[in-house]
Structure formats: C-alpha cells, structure tokens
Amino acid sequence: MKLALYKEIIQMALDSLRSNKLRSFLTVLGITIGVTTVIGMVSIIQGLNRTFLQELEAVGSDIIVVSKYEPGVVRIGPMEEELRRRKDLTFEDAQAIEEECPSVKAVAVELVVNPLLDLPVKYQNRQSEETLILGMNDKFPEVISVYRPKKGRFILTPDLLHSSSVCVLGFDVAETLFPFEDPLGKEIRIGPEKFRVVGVLEKRGSIFGQSRDNFVGIPLTTLMKYFPYDLENLEIIAVPRDHAHLSSAMEEIISLLRRRRKVGFGQPNDFAVYTQETIINLYNQITGAAYLVMIVISSIGLLVGGIGVMNIMLVAVKERTREIGIRKAIGARPRDISHQFLIESVVLTLFGGLAGLLLGFLIALVVKASTPLPASVTLWSVFLGIGVSIGVGLFFGLWPARKAARLDPIVCLRYE
C-alpha cells in the first residue's frame, strides 16, 4: 500500500516537472552547477593523486632524501636569512654516508647545471631543446631503478675518478639526436664540450605534460670540472639495506651530518632528511587546499540551488492549496502531505544532481583529452554527487513540506 502511494507521489512530482519545464530547469540550475563542480574537481584531483603515487612507487618507497632545505620550504621573509646561513651539502658528505652508516645500502648524488644557462645539446645538425644536464654518481641504478640503461651502460666509478667526458642520454634526447642510428659510441656536444655516449636510459614518459626523459647524465666530477654549478642544488639520495632498516638509516645519517657540520647539542638540524612519506604529506596538504576551494565553490552553487528549490516548493504549496484540502478531506494524514512535498523536492534536486554528474564526467573527459592533467572518475564521487543532491532536496524541502502538512483543510477548501 505504501509502495503504491510513493509511486503515485513520484509520478505526481514528475508530472509537475514536465508541466513547468523552464521553472524546473532554473530551479535546479544551482544544484547542477554545484554537483558539476564537485565531480569535475574530484575527478581531476583523484587523477593527479593516482599519477603522483604511481610515480613515487616507481622511484621507490624506501628512499631517503638529504638536501639543504626541507621540501616545500619558502625561502623568503623572516626565514630567508637563517636558511641562507646553512652550509651546502658536498660530495664528501655523500661518500661519508655510504662509508660510515651501516644501515645504508647505497647513496646516489645528483647536481643540476643551472637551467638558465640553457646549454645546447647537439649532434651534427640536430639539437635537443631545453635539455637538463645532470651530474650523477655511479649508484643511481642501485638506488632508483628507473635510471637503468636500456642500451649500453651507466656511469661507472672510473668515470667519476677520472672526470671522464662520457654521458648517458634520456630516451627523448636519444630519439631527437639519433633518430636513425645507434647513439652508443657517438660524440655529442654539451655547450662547448664533447662527450661520448655510453648509454641510453629506459623511457619514463611524461608527468603533467613534462617529459622525464629530456636530460643528459654526466659524471658528477665532470660537471664540476666543466660547468658552473651551485652546491645549493646538490641532492643526496640513500636507500637502506631493507625496509626494516629505514628508521635506523635515517638516524645514522642525521647523526653523521650533525657531527660533520658541527651542529651543537640542542640546536636544530641545518639540513633536511626526509622520506617519500614526507613528500606525500606535503602533496596531501596541497590537494587538501584544493578540496577546500572545491567545497566553498560547490557550496555556493548548492546554497543558491537549495534556496531556489525552497522558493519553488513554497510556490507549489500555494498553488496546490485546494488540492491539499481535498486530499486531507478524503483521509490523507499530515505526514502523507509532508512526504508528498519532500519527495517532490528530492526528485527535483535529484534531476539536478544527475545532470551535474553527467556534466562533471564530460568535463573530466575533456580535461583528460585536451590537457596534460589526468582525470579519474571514482565510484565514490558518483555516490557523493547523488547523496549531496538528495540531501539538499531533503533539507530545503523540509520547511515547505511542514507548511503544507499543517494547513487547515477547511481553509484550504475555501481557497481560490
């Protein structure tokens, strides 16, 4: 009996929507905008999260990064002077970590030639544009597996000891300079200097539209011999013997660097040691701010839409006052009248929510197809959109429904 009654109420709600198409559209427009915002932004942020986490997993979950500054630190304002006084890390620090920290398995060192120099990378009449020049030691393949060579070999210890003019090419650089021939053994120019190609690294692809294969790796000592550099950008990456030694490796590294840098007892570290978890937490803070912006924007749309729904339902109560009186006269209880208008309100907002879901999915697909930003539609975001639209219908339809339920049937039957 109740099921038949609810089916009848839903049918009445749909008839009301069909008979007032323009009014219904304008009423749910705010709901549609709010849900579209939620679904679109959630899809983009979830896509970014998935891509970011996959990249971290590919690099390695147990790596320890040592740098001069903490990740995400802003080097302006009151902290600028204090940070500027920090001593640079050195290649000798990396060697000491590998030799004196028993829980550390291997240590990779990376130093970047100033990108502002824009050194040309050439082979005959071909040139690679905006190529990053990295000074590296021989331990990168052991520390970060994505640096394993596809062809040839990586930089070796003798290359570092003799500051050899050898290099390994990122996949994109190899494709640009050597589209039709094997690059191994060929000589390229980096700025005015000649380098012999000894290896080509495996392809890593792009992230957020930025290629990760447009670089040339040369021995760290060779970079320091031929090119200008800033030790401020030196980065040391260590890997523990196994996951169980991660904490002890960090403690050993911190203790060693404090001794080498003569940091006094009770004084804070003048360097940074962090893991992938620190980077993930920083990333989550950034995306958390994006979620907050999303909530504010969508809330405005949902509030406007909800007020519109309440207004239109109050108008509906006014227009159907005589109908309410007749229904009460033939036995309808106040809660039946209340349910009728609540269901009509929910049906109205649900249509707006479904339209918002469709538009949000379309936005996510367009963003994914036309920009470097990834987008991923998740099942929970669908339920979120539907739940929000139903919740708005219930909340803003409650007052009109209660008003309709409290009307006096005699007064209603007199209403013209």
Is the model's pLDDT at 337 over the cut of 50? Answer: yes
In tens, the pLDDT along 132-178 reads 899 999 888 888 877 788 889 999 999 999 999 999 998 889 999 99
Residue 149's identity, in one-letter code, is P
Range 99-110 average pLDDT: 89
> Six-digit token pair at 406?
């409290």
Distance of alpha carbon 36 from alpha carbon 30, whole angstroms: 10
**pTM for the complete prediction?**
0.69
Token readout for 23 is 């009014």
Q: What does 119-184 look like in DSSP terms, one character per residue? A: --EEETTEEETT-EEEEE-TTHHHH-GGG-EEEE----HHHHHTT--EEEE-HHHHHHH-SSS--T
| pLDDT 10s digits, 254-277 | 888 888 888 878 788 888 888 877
Nearest-CA neighbor of 262 among 107, 86, 102?
86
Please say if the pLDDT value at position 389 is more than 70: yes
Q: How confident is the model at residue 279 (pLDDT cuts 50, 70, 90)?
A: confident
Average confidence (pLDDT) over 82-86? 69
pLDDT of residue 385: 80
